[in-house]
Amino acid sequence: MAAFEATPAETAGGHRATAQAGEPAIVLRGATKTYGEGDVAVRALRGVDLEIWPEEFVVLLGPSGSGKTTLLNLIGGIEPASAGEIVVAGNDVTELDEEGRTAFRRDTVGFIFQFFNLVPTLTALENVELVAELGRGADRSAEMLERVGLGDRMDHFPAQLSGGEQQRVAVARALAGGPRVLLGDEPTGALDLETGRTVLALLHELSHELDQTVLLVTHNASIARMADRVLRMRDGEIVADERNEVPAPAEQLEW
Amino acid sequence: MRVLRTKARRDMRRQRASFLAITVTIFLGVTLFGATYDAFRNLDDSYKRAFTQYRFANLTVTGGDVARFAAAARAQPGVEAVQTRTQTDVPIQVGADKFLGRVVGMPPGHQPAVNRLAIESGTYLQPARPDDVLVDRNMAKAFDLETGDRVAVTGAAGAQRVTLLGVASSPEYYWPARSRQEAFTAPKDFGVLYVPQPLAERLAGDARPNQVAIYYANGKENAGLTKRLSAAAERSGATDVFTRADQPSNSSLQQDVKSFEQLAILFPLLFLTAAALATGVLMRRLVTSQRPIVGMLRACGYSRGQIVRHFLSFGLLSGAAGGILGVALGLWLASVMTSAYTDQLSIPLSVIEIRPSTILVGIAFGLGTGALASAAPAAFAAGVPPAEAMRRFSPAKAGKISLAERLFPPLRRLPVRWRMAIRSIGRNPRRATSTVLGVVLALILILSSWGMIDAAQILIDRQYGQIERQDAQLYVRAPLGSAELARIRGVPGVRRAEPAAELPVSLRANGHRYQTALIALRRNTQMHGFYESGGGQIELPVAGLIVGQAVQGRLDLRAGQSVRIGAPGTGVEVSAPLDAVVNEPLGAFAYASLDAVRALAGPRLGEGNSVFVTYAPGVDRDRMRRALSAVPGVTAFVDSKALQEYMNSYLGLYYLFIGIMVLFGGAMAFALLYNSIQANLAERSVEVATLRAAGTPFATLARMITVENTIVAMLGIVPGLFLGYETAKLFLEQFQTDWFSFELEMRTSTFVLASLAILAVALLSELPGLRAVRRLDIAEVVRERAA
């Protein structure tokens, strides 16, 4: 594993700077999540400590049930933590109530889901506008779709798009609100290799252009090669935190 | 949230058949509300306005010292006008037709102070033409009479011919009711002539008026005044006192108004409840199928409130569409119904108004139904955690052995596919319950209308088949002589003729008084059947009285109790014990044997004034009418079967009403069953596709779906029949009057047909679902799930 080092550094490819000198984009201290109570309590996260720096492209690996989606949900304010502290882009998520977390997700985070979760009755453009409408800034939905290469398919409904195209719409939707942090849950899980690589390349390129911090959760270890940093989870704990000195372009990934 | 609105619009378009079903159900409910409520309001207002304009009496007092009572009434504060007059029932002959009609005295030259006439044609009574009269519009219509025609009236001084000056209508006879006991008469069996008061006095054989009509200040009801005047009437020896509400015509018409009022509550309630259930089923399915999208929306920052509003908008849109269209059609129907009704009754003032309150309430009903029905699913959607966005499908609920299998273990030995059909019912208990409730509501709607007509038909069959067995009743000049009876018996076609007496009487007991007719027949009469509540037949007693249940109720009587019987205008008052109470659905009369009447009132009345006749089979009824009317001494003729036929033809109008209700009930059941089946199939598309992929023939799947659907329908049919019957019973109880006293009875065939109708709807409602199953792209569904 010569390509990985234990400390953050400038990437050799130069396409991702990790401004470690500033404040971390994501900070977790003792983040814990327990489902259920008593005998049936399941500790999905066991006091995770983590810092992710602005503009880092991080891949979180782990087998099913290791707690990676739970970690993503806590960072994204989808679920409240049972204990610990989580600060994302300066927002202490653990201090937020339901309403506060909703606003936090709206203003700070963009999500990409494994199954795209496009609204079948809305066109590609409308699916992106659906999230853009929530934001306070200018509507960049059409621009985002252009950026993901779907400028000519804006008026198509999801059923008229391929899986890769649907996920590209989902990427555009995640970016449309101008989030500081982009969270992806198995974004290529439902895609074939070629399409998956295309989507990852696009995600990498756009997040870089838009100065966004990216955290992708996957069980696909091959994707780790394109990350600035790779986290590994097992049994609710981060068991490895490695820096990738020379991230590979998405096009070169194989799985 | 423009895009969310777009989503809502397109989601609705995508499931347009389901939303259309809901919208139509709401539409029907609001239409019925608008139509029946405004028809009720229009009719009520039409009557009120007509009653005010034509100064319809608030209180009518008959008999006693009329002059003294009238003077006392005029002195009462709150009394605006008092009119004395003579009213008497007399034989009237129009061409060859003879019937017992009525003459009402009017001041010639000017309208009376109370109970004014609307002149439809011709002119009002003129002093210069003392023997010219006005004919009531119902009589004019029945006999096709016009101004200038002549009719014969037989009064105390014999028969005389009078000329018609015109056709008029009076608020007292908008509905041509002879009395409260005889609210329904065949068109040619009753008619009213408005005659100059002096002529009325001559016909009655009494120079003094026998009736006082009182109009209160502005026509407004005044309970205190009524009480005081009733007490004064009692003191003056009055034989009958009735308020405006009890006036025979008005009380009949108010039954219609009341039925509109009740329909305006019950029917919309049924439809809107059904619509709410259907909306609930559809919305919950929609929300369930969209859990990942809802999760995504929540994950992307949509608040709970926005999610609630989004899903509420489905119900609100359906409700608004159904409400607005329903109000529009309802108001139109109300105006059509009001016009048709007031034209039919010739109510001179037909009030047809568009009431903002009806519009607002109608739309509010639509919106409220939509909002209430989608509130729970919307709240459920808002509770969907954002983490649901990470899932593709909702987790399956735990399966379990069905209740039916647990209660009846042999069911567990059925082939798996049938067990699956049985278990599917309990898979979504909320949806199954909604569907069962929909079937129950539909049956309530169907049976509450069908039950009424059933009851009416059974009632008519019983009244004219078992109780009133005569074909005709002839009135003759009293006392009936044996020669007249012989002449009647001698008319070809007459099978049997029996003497009878019909006397107006005032019955008193337990502090109550009731004005009715005493019908005296031979003890062993073949003309009338007397049945007690248990169904047993009894004979007329030697001495005492028999009364119908309605009279018993009015006088609070018990068998064996003594009843005071007064003959108005004669001063005769005797006592007789109550021998038995009979179950008679129509009319509220007292019965006694001719012997008993003779013993009580003397031989003159005991000889009888009437003859009951039965015909030989197959005779021509019109010929018999002419032949019997022509018998010397016969002053009036009542064709008893004509009344039965008239009532049956009147009921015929209601077949359309029942047809519409069955259709509406079917539509209501369809909306719910259709939505439930669609939701069930959508939820199980993968299972169905898997079964198809595994080689299950479409016919087997269709049978499984049919079995499930039929079981659900049957689960609704059983309580639906019971509750439908109970609702019809409740409905019928509201219409018990002096004339009509009947407990609900329904034909078994009605229950069977209503159940079959619901089952047919259930089968029909699954056809679109079965078509979708047939067209299912097995590969696509299975692949999607695999992905």
Q: B223-282: per-residue pLDDT in tens?
A: 999 999 999 998 898 888 999 999 999 988 888 788 778 777 877 888 888 888 888 888
pLDDT band for position B704 (50/70/90)? confident
pLDDT at A228 over 90: yes
Residues on chain A touching B295 (C-beta within 8 angstroms) = 117
- Residue A249 corresponds to which amino acid? P
pLDDT digits (tens, 9 = 90+) for B430-456: 888 888 888 898 898 888 888 888 888
Other C-beta atoms lying within 10 Å of the C-beta of residue B296: 27
- Taking only the tens place, the pLDDT of each residue in B587-646 is 788 999 988 888 777 776 667 889 999 999 999 998 999 999 889 888 889 988 888 888
In this predicted structure, what is the pLDDT of residue A17?
Answer: 45
* Among candidates B6, B302, B390 on the partner chain, residue whose Cβ is nearest the Cβ of A185: B390
What residues pair up with B192 in beta bridges, in sequence order?
A: B102
pLDDT at B709 over 70: yes
**pLDDT given at position B269:** 84
Mean pLDDT, all residues of chain B: 87
User: Is the predicted pLDDT of residue B53 greater than 90, yes or no?
Assistant: yes
User: In a 3-state reduction of DSSP, which class is residue B765?
Assistant: helix
Question: Is residue A14 predicted with pLDDT exceeding 60?
Answer: no
Please state, in angstroms and as integers, the Cα–Cα distance from residue A183 to each residue in A73, B184, B657, following that order.
9, 81, 63
The residue to which tokens 């005047």 are assigned: B229
Q: Closest-CA residue in chain B for A110?
A: B300
Q: pLDDT grade, residue A135 (50/70/90)?
A: confident
Q: Do B386 and A73 touch (CB under 8 A)?
A: yes
The pLDDT score that the predictor gives to residue A106 is 84
Confidence check: pLDDT of A5 > 50: no
CA-based nearest residue to A183, from B131, B555, B296: B296
Can you tell me the distance from the alpha carbon of B500 to that of B506, in angstroms, rounded to the nearest whole number? 19
Judge: A131–B301 Cβ closer than 8 Å, yes or no.
Answer: yes
Q: How, if at all, do strands B132-136 and B158-169 pair?
A: parallel
Per the DSSP assignment, residues forming a β-bridge with B160 are: B153
Q: For residue A123, what is the nearest residue in chain B, using CA coordinates?
A: B7
Average pLDDT over residues B114-120: 96
Q: Are B492 and B545 in contact (CB under 8 A)?
A: no
Pairwise CB contact (< 8 Å): A102 & B385: no
Q: Which of B320, B349, B278, B360 shows the shortest CA–CA distance to B37?
A: B360
Measure the CA–CA gap between A181 and A53, rounded to whole angstroms: 10
> Measured between CA atoms, how close is B308 to chain A, in angstroms?
14
Question: Nearest Cβ partner of B390 from A113, A126, A130?
Answer: A113
Which of B1, B2, B3, B290 is best to mutate for the A interface (most A CBs within 10 A)? B3
Q: What is the pLDDT of residue B398?
A: 54
Q: What does the pLDDT look like over B504-532, one tens digit per residue?
A: 888 989 888 888 889 999 998 999 999 98
Cis check: omega of the bond before B209, within 30 degrees of 0? no
Alpha carbon B172 to chain centroid distance? 21
- Could you tell me if B222 and B58 are in contact, meaning their C-beta atoms sit under 8 angstroms apart? yes
Residues of B in contact with A164 (CB under 8 A): none
The 3-state DSSP class for residue A130 equals helix
Distance CA B680, CA B683 (A): 5
Give kind and range of the element (H or E) at residue B295: helix B291-299
pLDDT of residue A13: 36
Non-local CB neighbours of A45 within 8 Å, separated by 6+ positions: A31, A32, A33, A67, A70, A71, A74, A81, A82, A236, A237
Interfacial residues of A (vs B; Cβ cutoff 8 Å): 69, 73, 76, 78-79, 98-99, 102-107, 110-111, 113-115, 117, 119-122, 126, 129-131, 133-134, 173, 177, 185, 190
Percent of residues, chain B, with pLDDT higher than 70: 94
A93, two tokens: 């998520």
Residue B471 burial by Cβ neighbours in a 10 Å radius (0-12, 13-18, 19+): buried
Q: Given this model, what pLDDT does residue A6 score?
A: 37
Percent of chain B at pLDDT > 90 equals: 39
Query: How many residues belong to chain B?
Result: 787
* Chain-chain contact of A126 with B296 (C-beta, under 8 angstroms): no
* d(C-alpha A50, C-alpha A85), whole Å: 10
Q: What is the pLDDT of residue B693?
A: 65
Which of B4, B292, B303 has the CB atom closest to A117's CB atom? B292
Contact call for residues B565 and B600 (beta carbons, < 8 A)? yes
Q: How far is CA B747 from the centre of its chain?
A: 18
Query: Nearest chain A Cα to B303, which residue?
Result: A102
Asked if A113's CB is within 8 angstroms of B300's CB, the reply is no
**A113 vs B298, B304, B389: nearest CB:** B389
For B388-443, how does the pLDDT look when each residue is reduced to its tens digit (9 = 90+)? 776 665 544 556 677 888 888 888 787 777 777 787 787 778 888 888 888 898 89
pLDDT confidence of residue B131: 92
DSSP string, B661-690: HHHHHHHHHHHHHHHHHHHHHHHTHHHHHH
**What is the model's pLDDT at position B198?**
96
Mean pLDDT of B303-326: 93
**DSSP per-residue letters across B315-375:** HHHHHHHHHHHHHHHHHHHHHHHHHHHHHHHT-S-------HHHHHHHHHHHHHHHHHHHH
Q: Answer yes or no: do B300 and A106 touch at CB < 8 A.
A: yes
Phi/psi region, residue A30 (left: phi>0; alpha: psi -120 to 50; beta: rest), is left
- For residues B359-370, give the mean pLDDT: 93
State whether A102 and B301 contact (CB < 8 Å): yes
| Cβ neighbourhood burial of A14 (10 Å; 0-12, 13-18, 19+) | exposed
Total beta-carbon pairs less than 8 A apart between chain A and chain B: 90
pLDDT at residue B386 greater than cutoff 50: yes
Closest Cα in chain B, distance from residue A195 (Å): 15
**Whole-number pLDDT of residue A7:** 37
Q: Closest partner residue to A78 among B10, B292, B386, by Cβ? A: B386
State the Cα–Cα distance between residues A148 and A183, nearest whole angstrom.
17
**Mean pLDDT, residues B60-72 taken together:** 93
List the single residue in A106, A122, A185 with the smallest CB-CB distance to B10.
A122
Pairing of strands A213-218, A229-234: unpaired
CA angle centred on B51, ends B47 and B57, rounded to 5°: 135
ipTM above 0.85, yes or no: no
Q: How many angstroms separate the CA atoms of B354 and B333, rounded? A: 12
* Greater model confidence, B756 or B481: B756
- Whole-angstrom CA distances from A113 to A129, B146, B608, B706 are 17, 87, 98, 39
d(CA A157, CA A182): 24
The confidence band for B775, taking pLDDT boundaries of 50, 70 and 90, is confident
| Sequence-ordered strand ranges (E) for B86-140 | 87-94, 97-106, 118-122, 132-136
Model pLDDT for residues A154-202, shown as the tens digit of each residue: 989 888 898 889 988 998 988 888 899 999 988 888 788 888 888 899 8
Query: What residues pair up with B506 in beta bridges, in sequence order?
Result: B515, B566
> What does the DSSP assignment read for B426-455?
TTSHHHHHHHHHHHHHHHHHHHHHHHHHHH
For B215, list phi and psi in degrees, rounded to 5. Answer: -115, 125
From A118's Cα to the closest Cα of chain B, the distance in A is 7
The answer to whether residue B282 neighbours chain A at the CB level (below 8 Å) is no
Tokens of B242: 């009735």
- Looking only at the bridges linking them, the beta strands covering A91-92 and A83-88 are antiparallel
Contact yes or no for A126 and B299 at CB 8 A? no
Q: Which of A69, A104, A119 sits opposite B390 (nearest CB)?
A: A69
Q: Is B593 helix (H, G, I), strand (E, B) or coil?
A: strand
The answer, yes or no, to whether residue B502 has pLDDT greater than 50, is yes
CB B292 to CB A121 under 8 A? no
For position B143, what pLDDT does the model report?
95
Band of pLDDT at residue A15, cut at 50, 70 and 90: very low
Identity at B724, one-letter amino acid code: G
Contacts of B440 by beta carbon, 8 Å cutoff, 6+ apart: B716, B719, B720, B723
Short-list A127, A183, A190, A129, CA closest to A164: A190
CB of B731 within 8 A of CB of B262?
Answer: yes
Query: Above 60 in pLDDT, residue B733?
Result: yes
The band of A127, judged by pLDDT with boundaries at 50, 70 and 90, is confident
What pLDDT, on a 0 to 100 scale, did the predictor assign at position B267? Answer: 78
Give the relative orientation of helices B223-235 and B66-75 as an angle to the nearest 10 degrees. 150
Instruction: Write the pLDDT tens digit of every residue in A46-74.
Output: 999 999 999 999 999 999 889 998 999 89
The pLDDT value recorded for residue B694 is: 67
B176-232 pLDDT, tens digit per residue, is 998 887 888 888 889 999 999 999 999 999 999 999 999 999 999 999 999 999 999
At residue B514, the pLDDT reads 86
Q: B-chain residues within 8 Å CB-CB of A129?
A: 2-3
